[in-house]
Amino acid sequence: MSIHLCVQKNSQRLKEVKKKILFLVTEDWYFCSHRLALACAARDAGFEVTVATHVHDHGDVITKEGFKLISIRLRRQTTNLLKDVLSILELAKIYRTERPDIVHHVGMKPILYGTFAARTVRVPSIVNAIAGMGYVFSSTQPHARILKLLIKAAFRLILNIRNGKVIIQNPDDLKLLTNSNMIKKESLSLIKGSGVDLNHFIVTQEIPGKPTVVLASRMLWNKGINEFVNAAKILLGTGIRARFILIGKTDPDNPVSIPITTLKDWQDEGIIEWWGYQENMVLVFSRAHIVCLPSFYGEGVPKVLIEAASCGRAIVTTDMPGCREIVRHGENGLLVPVRDSIALAAALKSLIEDPFLRKRMGARGREIAVNEFSVEKVVAETLDVYKGLLSSCG
């Protein structure tokens, strides 16, 4: 079923009076990767779409869809108070000028700064999408603990509003937010991830040769990269014949980004291959036998794992919120404890040595992706959130 058919039943009411939605995302690549399909569906449902983001490499992709593009100064990792205040003022000016009926904020800073700006200029409806609780809530570092307290207070202050909804991606985050009284349950909507295009991410047969284990992610320590490398060392040291591939780029704006020199050193030692950023992930999965993500980051539902499941690949990941939402232990993959390279190596070894188990788990993963994580399902549920907010505004 196409996205266009999926949203047809939601379109009629929206088209009666053209509404404007504005997406606020810090990075243009993230918008294109995780929210472009939703924005296209909103456009097809009758919305006028505006995207406010840091424009880098994907501006043409956004404007080609007919969306208005606004470049913003807001950055994910800025800690300069003056710049942050200027960013909030900039957002308030944008909202006052554009006069959107709905703003959809994605990510922690857009949620905090965007909601403050939106409430200041009285935007009618506010949607805040929490794509996992992230580094601050998963870290035990002193500065992260302080930030966590500040974010909790900010959530209680600005997110429990009559004209707003907060979208979260997994039941663990729902429980955390409600049990800690950060956000009222009636303000929350559970929508699992950003979805997968099942017609694009298709099952392919494993290619012959040494089993290939792929970890695709930003190159961050808390994505479990070091544990993956250590597991590879363990397995190669015991004579296991396999390839271990890292896919993704570094993230210099992130304090836990892995230096390029470290990645190159690992590659020079013959432990892993680092392929960097890859545009064609379907091709990457077709060359993989196993997909691994030993993250302890605080994920929503990792998009790469949904895509891997859709492509029929067995998965090894950590028993963490979000990761265990897509991977069911023993069914479509294996769950391991966080920061445990020995357990990770054992799980990978069991799949490297058993192609029949990989095939069975891959088939089950495809079933789970089809039944629970299609982009059509995610889009339809999000459009229902928009529709409900517009109805409540009269």
Could you please report the per-residue DSSP string of 123-148?
-SEEEEEE---HHHHH--SHHHHHHH
**Residue of 101, 98, 279, 309 lying closest to 193 (CA atoms):** 309
Q: What is the mean pLDDT of residues 341-354?
A: 98
Q: Is the pLDDT of residue 76 over 70?
A: no
Give the CATH superfamily of 212-372: Glycogen Phosphorylase B; (3.40.50.2000)
Contact 225, 258 (CB under 8 A): yes
The amino acid at residue 44 is D
| Angle made by CA atoms 189, 193, 198, in degrees to the nearest 5 | 130
The amino acid at residue 182 is M
Q: Is the pLDDT of residue 246 over 50?
A: yes
Stronger pLDDT, 157 or 378, i.e. the higher one = 378
Cα 6 from Cα 367, distance rounded (Å)? 19
Kindly give the pairing relationship between strand 102-106 and strand 68-71: unpaired
Residue 44: both structure tokens together: 């097809």
Residue 335: both structure tokens together: 């769950």
Q: Is the pLDDT of residue 3 over 60?
A: no
Q: What is the mean pLDDT of residues 139-146?
A: 75
Contact 258, 252 (CB under 8 A): no
Kindly report the CATH class assigned to 3-195+374-392: alpha beta
297 — pLDDT class (breaks 50, 70, 90): confident
Q: What is the mean pLDDT of residues 249-257?
A: 87
**Residue of 92, 94, 49, 85 lying closest to 68 (CA atoms):** 49
Task: Kindly report the average pLDDT of the chain as a whole number.
Answer: 92
| Angle made by CA atoms 393, 128, 58, in degrees to the nearest 5 | 115
Strand partners, 281: none
DSSP element (H, E) containing 247: strand 243-247
Residue 294: both structure tokens together: 């030993």
Beta strands in 110-201 (DSSP E): 125-130, 164-168, 188-190
User: pLDDT tens across 148-163, in order?
Assistant: 888 888 899 889 998 9
306 — pLDDT class (breaks 50, 70, 90): very high
The three-state secondary structure class of 229 is helix
- Among all chains, which residue has been given the structure tokens 């960097």? 276
Q: What is the distance, to the nearest Å, from the Cα of residue 16 to the centroid of all Cα atoms in its chain?
A: 33
pTM: 0.89
Contact 161, 126 (CB under 8 A): yes
Instruction: Output the pLDDT for position 14.
Output: 47
Contact 58, 33 (CB under 8 A): no
The dihedral formed by the CA atoms of 387, 168, 103 and 17, expressed in degrees to the nearest 10: -10
Instruction: Output the pLDDT for position 142.
Output: 77
Residues 6+ apart with CB under 8 A from 39: 21, 23, 31, 49, 51, 65, 67
Cite the residue boundaries of each domain of the chain with CATH code 3.40.50.2000: 3-195+374-392, 212-372
